[in-house]
Amino acid sequence: MSSASHILVTGGAGFIGSHASKALAQRGFVPVVYDNLSRGHRDLVKFGPLEVGDIGDGARVRAVLEKYRPVAVMHFAAFAYVGESVEHPELYQRNNVLGSKGLLEALLQYKPLPFVFSSTCATYGMPKHIPITEEHPQQPINPYGETKLKVEGMLRDLGRTRGLPWIALRYFNAAGSDPEGEIGEIHDPETHLIPLMLMAARDGATAKIFGADYDTPDGTCIRDYVHVSDIADAHVRAIDYLMAGGASAALNLANSRGHSVKEVIAECERVSGRAIAREITPRRPGDPASLIGSAVRAREVLGWVPQRSALEMQIADAWRWLGSRSR
């Protein structure tokens, strides 16, 4: 393919968007990052041009589309803190839902380009069976998950009425960092378990375990961790698939194996070579005991097979990135 083929990457200055931008560049695309930098980081934009703007600003979006003439869109731009969404649901409705609506309206005024959406397993809510398949009922239990489900609904409607080709990727717990150390996870505040445990190891701080009385082998929550580089690879595969005429679909991104909080802490201690002090605190409302996804469909549709599925590998990549940020 031509090196001049541009992909618009909204939210490309964030954690997953920046890794997807690198994966696009490695495939010969030019990622055009569109980000308002309210939560993104300019120093993560390394693989193509940066255009600063809001996704809800239709005129600005159209100007960027006309300037670069992209062949497809990846949409990551969203607020993604579950707790914040509970406290400020109106913020999430405005940014995640209305912002996405503005982006899609601007896109359709240009042309219905292949569209890959960053969705989430939070659209499923409390699991009724494990592993969670794409047929699992979507009954989100927080406003964050609700906003992602609403955007998926928009995509279905626009696919049917306007011919928009789309893929929604519902991923489980994104983890790790770029194995080459160019980019990585930067959140303020940080809420993800692995970086929190590694920062506790680095700083000698006490890590909190939210509940140790779940119906799991060691009493702590079990989650399905997926390396961010594998997630990025799936996004590029989704672009290729849609550009080749593939049918629209929603797909899980998961490793189909779970690790408990205590297992993650033990692996963080092993990788860092440091003990992590821990404190058991009450459960957080709405935390399921176990979340493990099925990625059979992503393998069948996209040929996606995670390459960095080992927990040790994910934690080692995250530890290397954290060390580089500390120097």
CA dihedral (271, 282, 227, 74) positive or negative: negative
Task: Name the percent of the chain lying above pLDDT 90.
Answer: 94
Portions of the chain given CATH number 3.40.50.720: 6-175+226-254+298-302
Quick check: 143 pLDDT over 90? yes
Portions of the chain given CATH number 3.90.25.10: 193-223+256-291+307-326
* pLDDT band (50, 70, 90) for residue 252: very high
The pLDDT mean for the chain works out to 96
Which of 68, 92, 144, 214 is catalytic? The answer is: 144
Closest Cα partner for 16 from 305, 39, 6?
Answer: 39
Closest Cα partner for 188 from 74, 31, 325, 319?
Answer: 325
> What pLDDT, on a 0 to 100 scale, did the predictor assign at position 326?
64
* pLDDT band (50, 70, 90) for residue 285: confident
Say whether 144 is catalytic. Answer: yes
CATH number of 6-175+226-254+298-302: 3.40.50.720
Average pLDDT over residues 82-111: 96
Closest Cα partner for 232 from 29, 61, 5, 1?
Answer: 29
- 49 burial type by CB count under 10 A (0-12 exposed, 13-18 middle, 19+ buried): middle
Quick check: 189 pLDDT over 80? yes
Amino acid found at 144: Y
- 318 burial type by CB count under 10 A (0-12 exposed, 13-18 middle, 19+ buried): buried
In the beta sheet, which residues pair with residue 117?
A: 75, 168
Average pLDDT over residues 184-188: 90
Is 164 strand, coil or helix?
A: coil
Task: Name the percent of the chain lying above pLDDT 70.
Answer: 98
Q: Which residue has the higher pLDDT, 287 or 212?
A: 212
Q: Give the separation between CA 310 and CA 315, rounded to whole angstroms.
A: 9
* pLDDT band (50, 70, 90) for residue 128: very high
Give 160-171 pLDDT, tens digit per residue. Answer: 999 999 999 999
Asked if residue 96 lies in contact with residue 68, where contact means CB atoms within 8 angstroms, the answer is no
Quick check: 221 pLDDT over 90? yes
CATH class of 193-223+256-291+307-326: alpha beta
Please give the full DSSP string across 45-80, using - where no structure is assigned: --SS-EEE--TT-HHHHHHHHHHH--SEEEE-----
> What pLDDT, on a 0 to 100 scale, did the predictor assign at position 1?
36
Quick check: 112 pLDDT over 70? yes
* pLDDT band (50, 70, 90) for residue 95: very high
* pLDDT band (50, 70, 90) for residue 275: very high
Average pLDDT over residues 36-62: 97
